Structure 1
Amino acid sequence: MKLIEPYIKVDEAILSLDNGGRFYNFFTEAEDGVISQAEIGKVAGLFNDRQKTVLFFELSISSLDATAKADVISKMDENLQRSYQKYKPQELLPSEADSKGVISSNAIITGFPTLIESKSELTGFILVPISTGKAMTFIPIPIIDHFDVYKMKDELSSETFLIAHAKNAEKLPEHKKIKVAGVLKEFKLKKGEEQVNRKYLEINYFLNKESV
C-alpha cells in the first residue's frame, strides 16, 4: 500500500507522466504529447500490471478538475486507452460499495476508517493459495490474521464497508477523511450455521483528503 501525492496542476501531471518510460522502452519518447502504460508504470513503480497502473493513474489525477482530467486522458496512446476503459475504477461511498461494487474490479472509496483490533469483532476468512508441488491448493485463514482490516464510513450514513491492507504496511490514519484505491474482493463470513460472502476492498493506494 502506498500513499499517493496527487497532481494539482495539469501541466505538472502531463510533464510527469509523459516521461519516456524506462531506458529499455525504445518506442516511447519523453514530452512527445503521448502517454503510454510504460510511462505511467515508471512513475508508479510498476511493470506489466495494467489494472494497477490504471488505478494509480486515476488516483494521481483525482485532485484535478474535470477539464484538466480530460486533457491528461486525451494524451493516452491507444493501448493505454483500452486498458483505461477496461480497468477504470468505480468511485463509491462506503454506504454504497456493498450494493454497487463489482468483484475483481478497481474501486476508489472515500470515507473515515477505523481499525478493527479484536478478532472477535470479525470472524470471516479468506482463501490463500498454497503451492504443493505441481498442484495449487487453497487454505482458509482468518482475514484479520492476514490483513489489517478497517471499517470505513461516510458522512451520509452510519453504514460501514470493510477495507484491508497487508499487515506489514503502514497503518491508515483513523477517523480522518481519506481516499483508498484497490480491488474489490470477497471473503467468507460465518453467520450461524451458514457461510455468506461479504465484499471488501484490498487497498493498493490511499490519499489523505484533508491534505489536498
Structure 2
Amino acid sequence: MKKIEPFKSVDDALQQLDNGGRFYNLLTKADDGIITTAELGKVGGIFNDKQQMILFLELSLSGLDESQRQAVILKLDMDLKLLYYNYQPALFSPTEAASKAVVAQNTIITGVPKLTASKTDFNGFIMIPIMTGSVTTFTMVPIMDMYDVYEIKDATSAQSILIAHARSSDKLPEKKIQIAGITKELKTDKKEKVASKIFLEAIYYLEYET
C-alpha cells in the first residue's frame, strides 16, 4: 500500500501532472495545459490500471478546496475526464460503507484501522482465479492467507467494515486516516459459498495532519 502526499496547491498539482508522460509517449507534451492518462500514470507510477489511477488522483487532490480541485479537473483531457467521472470514488464512513458500498466500486473510507491478528478469531474467504490452460476457474482461500486484515469502525457506532491489503511488513498506522481502494466480496461459509459482506482492498492511504 502506498501513502499519498496531497498536492499543496493548484500550481503544485499542474506542475506535477502536466509532465509530458514517459519517454515513449511521443504525442504528449509537458506544460501544454492538458493532463493525459499517460501523464497521470507517470506521477502515480501506474501503467494500465485506470481505476487505480483515479483513486490516486482523488487522494492527491484531497488537500485542495473544491474550486481548486475543479481547476485541476478542467485540465484533464476528454478521455481522462471520462475515466474520472466513471471511477470517481464514493466517500463513506465505515457504517455507510458496510450498508451502501457495492462490489468493484472505487471507495474511500475514513477511520482508525485495527489489525486483526488472530486467524482463529476471524473467518472469511475470497475467490482467487486459477488459470488452467485457457480456462479460468476459482478457488476459495482464507482472506488472512493473502492479506493483512483490519477492522475499521465509526467512533459512535459498533458497525464496522474490513480493510485488507497485500501482506507486508508495513502496517497501517492505528490512527485516523483515509483509505482508498476497491470494494470486493467476502464470503463467510467456504462450503456453501454464501456471500456475506463487502471488504475494501486497500491501495492507498492518506494521513491527516496533526
Tell me the TM-score range normalised by the shorter chain: over 0.9
What TM-score results when the alignment is normalised by the length of structure 2? 0.95
Mapped to 2, the partners of 1:194 and 1:150 lie a distance apart of 22
Corresponding residue pairs, total: 210
Identify unmatched segments of 5+ residues in structure 2.
none
Task: Report deviation, 1:147.
Answer: 0.6
Mapped to 2, the partners of 1:16 and 1:120 lie a distance apart of 46
Equivalent in the alignment of 1:85? 85
1:178–1:210 Cα contact (<8 Å) kept: no
Mapped to 2, the partners of 1:56 and 1:25 lie a distance apart of 20
Task: Report deviation, 1:121.
Answer: 2.0
Alignment of 1:28 onto 2:28: yes
Amino acid at match of 2:160: T
1:110–1:180 Cα contact (<8 Å) kept: yes
Mapped to 2, the partners of 1:96 and 1:19 lie a distance apart of 37
Deviations 1:34-76 (A, max 9, x none): 1111101000011121111111000111111111101010100
Task: Report deviation, 1:169.
Answer: 5.7
Equivalent in the alignment of 1:198? 197
Mapped to 1, the partners of 2:10 and 2:163 lie a distance apart of 30
Equivalent in the alignment of 1:111? 111
- 1:61-210 equivalent positions in 2, closer than 5 A: 61-168=61-168, 170-174=170-174, 176-190=175-189, 195-210=194-209
Mapped to 2, the partners of 1:134 and 1:32 lie a distance apart of 44
Report the secondary structure of 1:75's partner residue. coil
Equivalent in the alignment of 1:54? 54
**Structure 2 vs 1, CA of residues 196 and 134 (structure 1 numbering), >3 Å: closer, same or farther?**
closer
Identify unmatched segments of 5+ residues in structure 1.
none
Range with greater deviation from structure 2 (193-202 or 20-29): 193-202
Mapped to 1, the partners of 2:193 and 2:80 lie a distance apart of 43
Amino acid at match of 2:165: H
Amino acid at match of 1:187: L
Mapped to 1, the partners of 2:169 and 2:134 lie a distance apart of 31
Report the secondary structure of 2:179's partner residue. strand
Mapped to 1, the partners of 2:169 and 2:86 lie a distance apart of 28
Moved over 3 A (4+): none
Q: CA RMSD in A?
A: 1.7
**Structure 2 vs 1, CA of residues 197 and 117 (structure 1 numbering), >3 Å: closer, same or farther?**
same
Equivalent in the alignment of 1:3? 3
Q: Identity percentage over the alignment?
A: 50
